[in-house]
Chain A
Amino acid sequence: MKILIPLLSVCLLAACSSRPVTSGISVEQHSHYQQQLKVSNPELGKKLAIIDVKTRQTNELTDVVVTLASQYKKSQYLQYQFTWYDKDGFVIKGNHSPWQALNLFGFANIQLPGLAPTSNAVTFSLAVREVSTKAQEFED
């Protein structure tokens, strides 16, 4: 009985806190040759790595390919989003790049392609995070 009450209280509190995990790993390009990797979710950072970033010009638009590598034996259910910036670092308005779902198999590599929406867009950032599940929402 003494154990049951605190246990139920914890369950009750957990049921009220429903916040998905939205942190992940990202890469930001500051200039043509300078990129910065960020790991804001160390758990995901152990299972996933950004190993390569390539850029080129296609039809006067910046064309990007980011290579993701799985360092985990099971499939990972992820989502990614590109955000584009102009030469002054302002985000391109009306960014058409939505979060896209991605199923990465165990120890597989995948190239994520991104094309700048306008010729003004010169730098980008790419964010990758896990698809949040109900089970994660109760962890703090």
Chain B
Amino acid sequence: MNTLNKMATFNKLTGLALIGLSTLALSGCANKAVVSYGDAQAVETTDINFGSTDLQKVASQMTDSLLASPVIGTMTANTRPIVFVERIKNKTSEHIDTESITDSISTQLLRSGKFRFVDMGRVEAAREQLTFQNEDALVNPATAVAFGQQVGAQYMLYGNLSSIVKSNADKADVYYKFTMRLMDLKSGLVEWADETEIRKTREKSTFGW
């Protein structure tokens, strides 16, 4: 009788342990909110939309193509051409901060030491500062930067970003095409152009991972 009771108690305990462990296993560690730093350069595949990896890829490929081009080699042999970045026209259906792409490209080109840039986005701020220096009694006129000394850009960098999106019940596919051109402002000639493509596909996973 005693042995039977002990067996029943053991079975109950085992059952309880099993239920406890199952609950833990099912809940896993998912309930814990964990904050950690990731690698900003890592490949990001959270969803199919234009992401950080696409931005980095586009910027890096365009910079490499421009810097390796023979025309640019001749152009930058004895001088550092002055460029102004117009903008990247976003022709996709998504909201994409294209200024971020041009910022990355111009930063990388500046860092290469082969180009100089004028920033059209800060013209008003520069004008305000020069007006202050030249017209306000607080500034020593000998140290004020005079008007009419800035240099004009020789080249204009601009481009387009377009996409084709297709999807059905099981699959979604997006194709991005990024085109970039460098125009000589004096002659109007396009001195360099290149394009890069990105294809991203989302499929339903066969397994539950």
Contacts and interface: CB of A to CB of B under 8 A. Distances in A.
B14 interface: yes
A98 B53 contact: yes
A97 to B, nearest CB: 6
Contact of B108 (A16, A79, A117): A117
A83 to B, nearest CB: 10
Contacts of A131: 43
A46 B192 CA distance: 42
Interface in A96-134: 96-101, 113-115, 117-119, 131, 133-134
Interface string B36-75: 0001011100000000010011011001100111101100
Interface stretch (A4-12, A24-32, A36-44, A67-75): A4-12
Nearest to A10: B25
A98 B111 contact: no
B197 to A, nearest CB: 13
Contact of B68 (A59, A79, A118): A59
Given A8-B25, A16-B28, A113-B64, A98 B18 contact: no
Contacts of B114: 59
Contacts of B70: 59
Contacts of B121: none
Interface of A: 1, 4-5, 8-9, 11-12, 15-16, 18, 58-59, 61, 63, 79, 81, 94, 96-101, 113-115, 117-119, 131, 133-135
Given A8-B25, A12-B28, A59-B76, 18 more contacts: A5-B17, A5-B21, A11-B25, A12-B24, A12-B25, A15-B28, A58-B68, A59-B70, A59-B73, A59-B114, A94-B111, A98-B42, A99-B43, A100-B60, A101-B43, A117-B63, A119-B113, A131-B43
Interface of B: 14, 17-18, 21-22, 24-25, 28-29, 39, 41-43, 53, 56-57, 59-60, 63-64, 67-70, 72-73, 76, 104, 107-108, 111-114, 207, 209
9 contacts: A4-B18, A8-B21, A11-B25, A12-B21, A12-B28, A15-B28, A59-B114, A96-B111, A99-B53
